[in-house]
Amino acid sequence: MMAAARRPSTLIDRLPPVRGRYTANAPLDRVTWFRVGGPAEVMFRPADRDDLAAFLAACPADVPLTVIGVGSNLLVRDGGIAGVVVRLGGPFASIEPDSVRAVLTAGAGALDANVALVAAEAGVAGIEFLVGVPGTIGGALRMNAGCYGAEMKDVVSRAVALDRQGRTHEMTAADIGFGYRRSKVPPGWIFTSVTLDGRSDQPAAITRHLEAIRAEREASQPLRTHTGGSTFKNPPGAKAWELIDRAGCRGLHRGAAVVSEKHCNFLINEGGARAADLEALGEEVRRRVAASTGTALEWEIVRVGEHQSPLAAVEEAR
């Protein structure tokens, strides 16, 4: 019996040993809220912060790294993501409130809504807005997420991140350099935890405020759909949804991708859309808004990965 031919080396062969888990060709359409996108060449789920730091220190410098949380404001292109996708799961989802000092420390993988709920139960006020922010704390930090008159910059006391060499950096809000839906932290750094400053209040009062935010969000946004949240940033002195509506884009379709009728700064996958459909629809919205109002909308949803080639699409359809 002839020996099997040696398989070509894969990316996993070049990666350092870890205590967490590597998965080759990991599906991402099951992860993103849009339910679209090609696979990750390799997905890495670190066992804990030390495991992540060791991986970063030993990972070859030429290997691209992409960090994702729960894929809430992420559009993964149909060709997938080359390199390693780092997904921070349960080991990074701790939430520890301190009701005496009215502060809360959370791992970067903790859901924003869960942080708000735990803070309310502990009597830590000022963090309720996070119940209206989809995704995880790490993503909220990176983009200075906010809603209903509050942003991360208003509550961040300190944050901890690892750089591409696995070194630890402790930062204040000033160090992070928050701006509108952005921060100045280098793209290759990975947030691992944050401490938020609140104020003391009665849990019942905090919960009432939190529920009011939930109700307003439910009434105004298409939450029970495959969407990625707010698509475009608000331009200075304007609201993106008003410009989109003025340009006649409410309800605009491209295949199964559609501009929400309920809130036209949301794109929806009605079922069967590709990432290319959603991105092309977003670009058509930008084109129409620019033509009718002179304003260039900037994407708030993060688009990552490679476009699928026409040949690959034909092969997949066979």
Q: Which residue(s) pair with 126 in the sheet?
A: none
User: Where are the domain boundaries for CATH 3.30.43.10 in the chain?
Assistant: 16-87
Residue 300 annotated in active site: yes
- What is the average pLDDT value for the chain, to the nearest integer? 93
C-alpha 217, offset from chain centre: 18
Distance CA 38, CA 43 (A): 12
Give me the pLDDT at residue 312, please: 52
- Domain 16-87 of CATH type 3.30.43.10: yes
Give me the pLDDT at residue 103, please: 97
User: Where are the domain boundaries for CATH 3.30.465.10 in the chain?
Assistant: 92-207
CB 312 within 8 A of CB 305: no
Query: What's the token pair of residue 117?
Result: 């709920």
Distance CA 9, CA 278 (A): 34
Distance CA 17, CA 182 (A): 33
Name the active-site residue from 181, 214, 217, 303.
181
CATH number for the domain whose boundaries are 222-304: 3.90.78.10
Give me the pLDDT at residue 273, please: 97
Distance CA 143, CA 163 (A): 17
Give me the pLDDT at residue 111, please: 97
Query: What's the token pair of residue 42?
Result: 């390799």
Give me the pLDDT at residue 148, please: 87
Distance CA 179, CA 112 (A): 19
User: Where are the domain boundaries for CATH 3.90.78.10 in the chain?
Assistant: 222-304
- pLDDT tens readout for residues 95-152: 999 999 999 999 999 999 999 999 999 999 999 999 999 999 999 999 999 998 899 9
Give me the pLDDT at residue 84, please: 98
pTM of the model: 0.90
Residue 99 annotated in active site: no
CB 28 within 8 A of CB 85: yes
Residues (pLDDT < 70) of the chain are 1-9, 309-318
Name the active-site residue from 41, 151, 279, 300.
300
Write the DSSP symbol of residue 205: H
Residue 230 annotated in active site: yes
DSSP string, 286-305: HHHHHHHH-----B-SEEES
Name the active-site residue from 72, 193, 230, 260.
230
CATH tag for 92-207 (out of 1.10.3210.10, 3.30.465.10, 3.40.120.10, 3.40.50.800):
3.30.465.10
Instruction: Compute φ and ψ for 75, nearest 5 degrees.
Output: -115, 105
